[in-house]
Chain A
């Protein structure tokens, strides 16, 4: 299997705060890998380090075997990393359709853009109904759909998702997880950050547990879900 993404001994700082203390992580083609951990563990920082919004002080981020940790975010995206950021970060004063269009900023083939848009609308019919509505006026769930759709418009080779189920009603949480599983079935490689560890481990192939900037456990999702320590800390068991 092809290794899509690899983090080697990544150290990231916010000023003097040592947020990531030597992260090692791999994602293979076709996998859903989940990264779970408590608040402030460094999950978001890991994703931000991968997509170049913050640069590590030490270590390497390899995307398809090439070190990208020194590149600015827009060039990393260009290589094929899509990022659904924490808190959705929809452009509030762009319409739903414009949000999607801007997702495909790097694609110059109009035909492909329309094709992908149709795919997103098929995945989330709700967005099709609201295509002329401003992003800021959508409900939380719709905004999450839009954030995912926007990232899909890039047709990325790996999709980083930061807590896509945060703040959503249970029905919508289920819908989002179903969608993630469906995307994976269609061939997307996904690195999923979640607070909802139970659900995440259900759909993931493998998982990593992050604790105050360090990976403390990793393995197949099923094994993690059975692990006593994980159960106690993250599954409320």
Chain B
């Protein structure tokens, strides 16, 4: 039993990582908009959906024209991102800005507007797809180059297992220390002590289970997963550069911190808000295309679950915090995959992978209850 759990670990974490990248990119849209407007844009899940559907259309329409699947994917990503960005800008311009200009201070009003916009976009896409194809379920075509699998070197699996074990022992040591402190006056153990204890335990464990850990796991990865990782990393890197190294990025952070003072610098806050929706929308749209690439079937209602998971990821990392959203997405993706897979094992199949959604929402509820500022805390916003 334990053997299987350990040997499954690397591939489960890898799956989680891939899903996590998709969550991370969607989460960035929630977090950036929250940073500048203190608004949870619940319509963001539909902006993601618009990108996913647009990407599917690009694939389906151009499959016969463009032979190279990679070129096709690049086009789908660009167009999917662009469509989502335009939808995001329009939503801001037509729904949120008028509310802002009216000086609505009630937080509930924009929230309900966002939900209304969500329904509107779902049905709008359904209408368009319905009129166009007489069907609103669209499928990403499959290409053999994308499905091809590659075997990963064994050391990746070994390292993953060791790192996870170390992390698990660290957490155990942390709570062990906490328990001891409950009953004695002992000082809190230093982080370094915990790390060393965890490393020791890992080594001991690895020694006894060496036949499991160092066995040939034959971990594989599909081409499309590699593409998801590469594209996501490129987008995250690009965003980081944009936010930290460009004038627009500094302006976005300035508006997030103090919009009124930003306007004294000659910045038009409305323009910056619009650009923020553009960037968040583009990332969401790209995430939509990657999601389509992974799961193939997309439709007007496909945004809801990934959207609310990504929102969870944003809250997990501290809403308003860009790094937090990325980290939160990856962590949530991995936790979800771990939970989904292991729950099945631990309950002898009584509880299947479908419970992984519950896990994500449990995490959301617990964070909101116990650490609403997230793991890293709010950063982009931090109003003065």
**Contact surface of A with B, Cβ cutoff 8 Å:** 51, 53, 72-74, 77-78, 83, 85, 89, 91-94, 98, 101-103, 105-106, 136, 150, 154
Contact = CB atoms under 8 A, between A and B. Distances in A.
Contact of A105 (B258, B265, B379, B384): B265
A53 B250 contact: no
A37 B320 CA distance: 40
A53 B260 CA distance: 8
Given A77-B266, A93-B382, A98 B261 contact: no
Interface string B258-276: 1011111111110000000
A102 B267 CA distance: 9
A154 B266 CA distance: 9
Given A74-B268, A92-B382, A93-B257, A53 B263 contact: yes
Nearest to A153: B265
B263 A102 contact: no
A95 to B, nearest CB: 9
B263 A101 contact: no
Nearest to B380: A93
Given A73-B260, A78-B266, A94-B250, 9 more contacts: A74-B263, A77-B265, A91-B258, A93-B257, A94-B254, A98-B250, A105-B267, A106-B265, A106-B266
Range, interface on chain B = 20 to 34
Nearest to B271: A74
Contacts of B260: 53, 73, 89
Contacts of A93: 253, 257, 379-380, 382
A53 B253 contact: no
Contacts of B262: 91, 102
27 contacts: A53-B260, A53-B264, A72-B263, A73-B264, A74-B265, A74-B266, A74-B267, A77-B263, A78-B266, A89-B384, A91-B253, A91-B254, A91-B258, A91-B261, A93-B253, A94-B253, A94-B257, A101-B250, A102-B250, A102-B251, A102-B265, A102-B267, A105-B247, A105-B251, A106-B265, A106-B266, A154-B265
Contact of B254 (A73, A77, A102): A102
A14 to B, nearest CB: 13
Contact of A51 (B257, B264, B379, B380): B264
Contact of A89 (B247, B250, B261, B379): B261
Contacts of A73: 260, 263-264
A98 B262 CA distance: 12
A83 B265 CA distance: 9
B257 A92 contact: yes
B141 to A, nearest CB: 45
Contacts of B380: 93
B264 A83 contact: yes
Contacts of B253: 91, 93-94, 98
A91 B269 CA distance: 15
Interface string B126-143: 000000000000000000
Contacts of B254: 91, 94, 102
Q: Which 5 residue pairs across A and B have the least CB separation, nearest first?
A: A73-B263, A106-B266, A77-B266, A89-B261, A74-B268
A230 to B, nearest CB: 30
A103 B263 contact: no
Contacts of A51: 264
Contacts of B379: 93
Interface in B211-234: none
B322 to A, nearest CB: 11
Contacts of A72: 263, 268
Contacts of A154: 265-266
Contacts of A74: 263-269
A103 B250 contact: no
B60 to A, nearest CB: 43
Nearest to B260: A53
Given A94-B250, A101-B247, A89 B258 contact: yes
Interface in B12-68: none
A52 B60 CA distance: 52
Nearest to A101: B250
A150 B251 CA distance: 14
Interface in B255-307: 257-258, 260-269
A53 B259 CA distance: 11
B244 to A, nearest CB: 9
A91 B264 contact: no
Contacts of A53: 260, 263-264
A101 B266 CA distance: 12
Of the candidates B250, B251, B382, the one having the most CB atoms from chain A within 10 angstroms of its own CB is B250
Contacts of B263: 53, 72-74, 77
Interface in B167-214: none
A143 B371 CA distance: 32
Interface in B360-384: 379-380, 382, 384
Contacts of B261: 85, 89, 91
Contacts of B264: 51, 53, 73-74, 77, 83, 85, 89
A91 B382 CA distance: 10
A85 B263 CA distance: 12
A89 B263 CA distance: 12
B270 to A, nearest CB: 9
Contact of A150 (B247, B265, B269): B265
Contacts of B266: 74, 77-78, 105-106, 154
Nearest to A83: B264
A105 B269 CA distance: 13
A83 B262 CA distance: 11
A111 to B, nearest CB: 15
Nearest to A51: B264
